[in-house]
A and B are shown apart, each in its own frame.
Chain A
């Protein structure tokens, strides 16, 4: 980017450089502040996983340590659910709204690095995910009585937060196909059943057979299984399988987003 800028440096522009790292940092910081000041995003993103965890993981758990350790299982899956939702809403609704307002078009007319708004939003989702996961872990370790080695806590958090990437990609696709008003509804219609059917709210082992048959076709199921693997409560499928499914899902989502972007460009500007 700076090389392009330098070729433009003529008599009219004295030496000056943009700092792409600074642009991305500002973009992420302001995306974060933008949503932090928006209760309609913050409350569902941060509070839902915590409230659900208190209900299903702590209040309704079977016995102190039944055949399935609910508080421990659900700390993995509610964390995954929370990150998934933060990414879907953060990218999907955020882009649909800014696209509808003409704000993205304005930014495209500036010399902004083309990927900056998307990367900014991804980092913002991961920050929200980190806050949510930290709060959930605190709740688990206190009210839930969950005991895990530090390394396990960290690897669980790492898997959960990395899960923002595929779902942010899917959110990007939704952001380019849905309108500003329909985007939240579409995301809820997709994410709530997907979370339920992937064993994120109630352990997959307790689901009816039909749901368990469908689950492997859901990217969210594989995300949940990867999170559960860090605490040894997964279905023992190979790591590579889950990662491969999510990688393909990410690429398909990016492809869909790209088609939507082209379509959008065709409609608005082409």
Chain B
């Protein structure tokens, strides 16, 4: 990727160091180390409640960490100096509905020392022709594009996109991806949160998998997909979990009541292996593992490695 943007040096643009966030007794982030480097598009991928939004809000200085350190452009994330270099698309349920798109862009742009010209913002967000439309009169996809436009107003070096396509249909989601890709191609750094593996895969250079407030895996989309995209086999078997998870092609196994669940990338082979080891196996079902289960599998895989070691 070419970086057309000038960045002061190669220090991380945004960084969490041992960041902990507790809400009363609930721990949203249990100590996370994580950074966005210049020019990178990073996806924080995880199921709902994993702590993705908390991580973004810490980095934006909207939350105070319960422990650890948060830096944005090497500074306190609440400082104006850091904030003028950042644009954020948050999960806003509604923007004031009786202002026009152009009026919203105009106001948010006024907060920045070097805003993008309004025409460029509209074009980049795919809003040309909708300038004079009231926000309340826009469709769901158009509303998301306005939120994206507002994140671009200040010509940011780093874009935060918190669940940018949540609630959009497949077509609108794909259209939105190409808008985001356009901005990333300019060498802008992006931190995106999503619970769609497909979205992280389509947009990110690097995926950070997060579950229950912890980072469970990190890597390129290809690496992450190999680990999480898979099938789940459910069956009643006499094999122990250790035996089941040691089978070739099996990533992890866990007990779910009297059923054993086996996570694998190669369901055909795993089923053959299971039947070979346990001819009395019954109640066999094979289904796609959803992301949440994939995370559980990953956490299980980690503990398996620990056992193996």
Is residue B98 within 8 Å, beta carbon to beta carbon, of the partner chain?
Answer: yes
Chain A residues 95-150 with CB under 8 Å of chain B are 98, 100-103, 105-106, 108-113
CB of A23 within 8 A of CB of B110, answer: yes
Chain B residues 49-85 with CB under 8 Å of chain A are 57, 60-64, 79-85
Which range contains the number of A residues in contact with the other chain?
A: 35 or more
Nearest CB of chain A from residue B57's CB, rounded to whole Å = 6
Which range contains the number of B residues in contact with the other chain?
A: 35 or more
Nearest CB of chain A from residue B231's CB, rounded to whole Å = 38
CB of B98 within 8 A of CB of A34, answer: yes
Nearest CB of chain B from residue A33's CB, rounded to whole Å = 7
Q: How far is the CA of A98 from the CA of B7 in the complex (A)?
A: 35
> Which residues of A have CB within 8 Å of B110?
18-19, 22-23, 26
> Which residues of B have CB within 8 Å of A9?
113
| Residues A111 and B64 in contact in the complex (CB < 8 Å), given A16-B114, A106-B92 | no
Is residue A4 within 8 Å, beta carbon to beta carbon, of the partner chain?
Answer: yes
Nearest CB of chain A from residue B54's CB, rounded to whole Å = 9
CB of B79 within 8 A of CB of A4, answer: yes
Chain A residues 1-51 with CB under 8 Å of chain B are 1, 4-5, 7-14, 16-19, 22-23, 26-27, 30, 33-35, 37-38
Q: Choose from B62, B85, B108, B134 the contact partner of A108 (Cβ within 8 Å).
A: B62
Is residue A270 within 8 Å, beta carbon to beta carbon, of the partner chain?
Answer: yes
Q: How far is the CA of A109 from the CA of B91 in the complex (A)?
A: 12
Is residue B150 within 8 Å, beta carbon to beta carbon, of the partner chain?
Answer: yes
Is residue B276 within 8 Å, beta carbon to beta carbon, of the partner chain?
Answer: no
CB of B84 within 8 A of CB of A8, answer: yes
Q: How far is the CA of A47 from the CA of B160 in the complex (A)?
A: 44
Nearest CB of chain B from residue A7's CB, rounded to whole Å = 6
CB of A30 within 8 A of CB of B99, answer: yes
| Residues A5 and B113 in contact in the complex (CB < 8 Å), given A30-B103, A101-B94 | yes
CB of A101 within 8 A of CB of B93, answer: yes
Which A residues are within 8 Å of any B CB, using their own CB? 1, 4-5, 7-14, 16-19, 22-23, 26-27, 30, 33-35, 37-38, 98, 100-103, 105-106, 108-113, 269-270
